[in-house]
């Protein structure tokens, strides 16, 4: 995720994973342990039908997705019962863990833009910005994601 603030407007760039068919074992292999947002969807002829955007900020995507999909551990059993697992696809994006309000603003934009079946349409943004803009990028299977960590040099 990349974030730029200009005045009262915020610009985020999200790098979505490829869209994968749901397989509970493969999903655990592909999902990162980092926090992020998971999207469940059905793919129809020429369009995606978004079912839910799910925030995994505490447990990370891998554990969060496992808990969400497990019929014995989920907090959303009514959703799990309705899902057609033979048609189910998912994708995910990693969100920097630093600010929960960024996650809230991104979820707000995704819900307002795609109107997923199971998200509350009354979900609120953080009220920090007048406008929220998101650029979505779809990663391919061959992409290598690299994160460079900087270190401060101590004086003295």
Provide the pLDDT confidence category of residue 17 given band limits of 50, 70 and 90: very high
pLDDT surpasses 90 at 11:
yes
Q: For the chain, which residues make up each domain, given as ranges?
A: 2-138
Supply the pLDDT for residue 16: 95
Residue 59 is given by DSSP the state S
Specify which residues 42 forms β-bridges with: 49, 88
Supply the pLDDT for residue 24: 87
Q: Which residues have C-beta within 8 Å of that of residue 137, sequence separation ≥ 6?
A: 13, 14, 15, 16
Supply the pLDDT for residue 139: 83
pLDDT digits 0-9 by tens, 74-125: 888 899 999 999 999 999 999 876 678 999 999 999 999 999 999 998 999 9
Task: Provide the whole-model pTM.
Answer: 0.85
Provide the pLDDT confidence category of residue 138 given band limits of 50, 70 and 90: confident
User: Whole-angstrom Cα distance, residue 16 to residue 38?
Assistant: 9
Q: Are strands 9-16 and 131-138 parallel, antiparallel or unpaired?
A: parallel
Provide the pLDDT confidence category of residue 145 given band limits of 50, 70 and 90: low
Q: Which CATH architecture has domain 2-138?
A: 3-Layer(aba) Sandwich (3.40)
- Are residues 106 and 14 in contact, defined by beta-carbon separation less than 8 angstroms? yes
pLDDT surpasses 70 at 155:
no
Sign of dihedral through CA atoms 30, 85, 36, 129? Answer: positive
% residues pLDDT > 70 (the chain): 88
Specify which residues 53 forms β-bridges with: 39
- Residue 77: other Cβ atoms inside 10 A: 12
């Amino acid at each position: 995720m990349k974030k730029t603030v200009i005045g009262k407007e915020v610009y985020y760039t999200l790098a979505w994973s490829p869209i994968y068919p749901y397989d509970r074992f493969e999903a655990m292999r592909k999902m990162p342990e980092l926090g992020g947002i998971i999207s469940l969807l059905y793919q129809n002829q020429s369009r995606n039908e978004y079912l839910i955007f799910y925030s995994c900020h505490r447990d990370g995507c891998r554990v969060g997705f496992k808990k969400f999909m497990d019929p014995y551990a989920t907090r959303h059993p009514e959703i799990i019962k309705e899902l057609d697992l033979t048609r189910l696809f998912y994708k995910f994006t990693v969100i920097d863990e630093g600010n929960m309000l960024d996650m809230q603003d991104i979820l707000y934009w995704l819900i307002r833009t795609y109107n997923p079946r199971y998200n509350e349409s009354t979900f609120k943004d953080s009220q920090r910005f007048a406008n929220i803009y998101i650029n979505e990028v779809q990663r391919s299977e061959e992409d290598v994601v690299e994160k460079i960590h900087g270190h401060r040099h101590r004086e003295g």
